[in-house]
Amino acid sequence: MSEVTMKHMLKAGLHFGHQTRRWNPKMKPYIFGPRNGIYIINLDKTMRLFRQACDFVTKVTSDGGYILFVGTKRQAQTIIKEEADRCKMFFINHRWLGGTLTNFQTIKKSVDRLKSIEAMQEDGSIDRFPKKEILLMGKERVKLDRNIGGIKNMRSMPAAVFVVDPNKERIAVKEAIKLDIPVIALTDTNCDPDGLSYIIPGNDDAIRAIKLITGAIADTALAGRSKFKETEAIEEEMVEQALAESTEEAVEVTESKSAPAAEEAVEKTEPESAPAAEEAVEKTESESAPAAEEAVEKTEPESAPAAEEAAEKTEPKSTPAAEA
């Protein structure tokens, strides 16, 4: 966040209040005194309260909350839009529709209508309608975008509301107070500070003063969102690491449980299979032994007569030869 100093505030004319005849007595604690018919704001108190407001914005955004920027007066419109867009926050800079916060569900219907028309214009499906209806829908889109374009992506209540000139935005302030949403406000000497959570006493009419404070709030919101994203990334990494560790532990537990079971199964299988194997061997031997003996016995009677017959045939032939 760029550091805002007393010199910056003086240069922006933040210390100039309204004419003395247009003041609100409730702002007296923040006024230094009158000069040339206007009240001068005490910038020492402004600086202290400004820092408190920035600390609150840092806390809100670093916790993931969003700020709604509101400034519909002519001097603030462009600044509110630019700074809110820069820090990726929501804004309303033309007209505050009654019930924007207190009747948010109805506002969401208008937001859905805006998105529907934009989608039809993008994909070309709007061309199927008659030209007159296309023209009417185009005008409707412009009007909706002007009033609620800055909150079309806001799905829930903002964590806080930043307002330029709480007198001008009194309806927005009342709705936020009713819903217990903290209000940060750039508050001039003619404003009523009652109900505001964080007051930043200062000139709410000068463009440079509005730019200085709104830009500083946007810078603070950016820093807070950056911190939130870093924390979110660390938490995601820790969750992934925890999941990985739990998976490893589960695998180890499963292995430790399955190993004894496998050994037990092997032990049970071995005693059962060993006798069966021995019995099979014995049975095979007992069956094969008689068969072998029988085969031998059959072979011997058949071969013996054949041998004797061969011997008898050989002897008569050899005897005459011997005699000769």
Q: pLDDT tens, 65-87?
A: 999 999 999 999 999 999 999 99
- State how far the alpha carbon of 184 is from the alpha carbons of 54, 176, 199, 219, 252, in Å: 10, 11, 6, 15, 55
At 320, list the tokens: 């005459």
Q: Are 174 and 96 in contact (CB under 8 A)?
A: no
Q: Are 217 and 66 in contact (CB under 8 A)?
A: no
What 3-state class would DSSP assign to 91? Answer: strand
pTM: 0.72
Rounded to whole angstroms, how far apart are CA atoms 284 and 199?
A: 104
Averaged pLDDT for residues 189-201? 96
What pLDDT, on the 0 to 100 scale, is given for residue 316? Answer: 42
Residue 270 scores a pLDDT above 80? no
Rounded to whole angstroms, how far apart are CA atoms 140 and 161?
A: 27
Q: How confident is the model at residue 229 (pLDDT cuts 50, 70, 90)?
A: confident
DSSP secondary structure string, 172-227? HHHHHHHTT--EEEEE-TTS--TT-SEEEES-SS-HHHHHHHHHHHHHHHHHHHHH
What's the fold here for domain 102-151? Helix Hairpins (1.10.287)
Q: Which CATH number fits domain 6-99+152-226: 1.20.1070.10, 2.60.40.10, 3.40.50.10490, 3.40.1010.10?
A: 3.40.50.10490
- Spans of all domains in the chain: 6-99+152-226, 102-151
What pLDDT, on the 0 to 100 scale, is given for residue 261? Answer: 61
292-323 tens-digit pLDDT = 455 445 545 454 444 455 445 444 444 433 33
Q: Are 217 and 83 in contact (CB under 8 A)?
A: yes
Amino acid (one-letter) located at 193:
P
Distance of CA 87 to the CA centre of its chain: 18
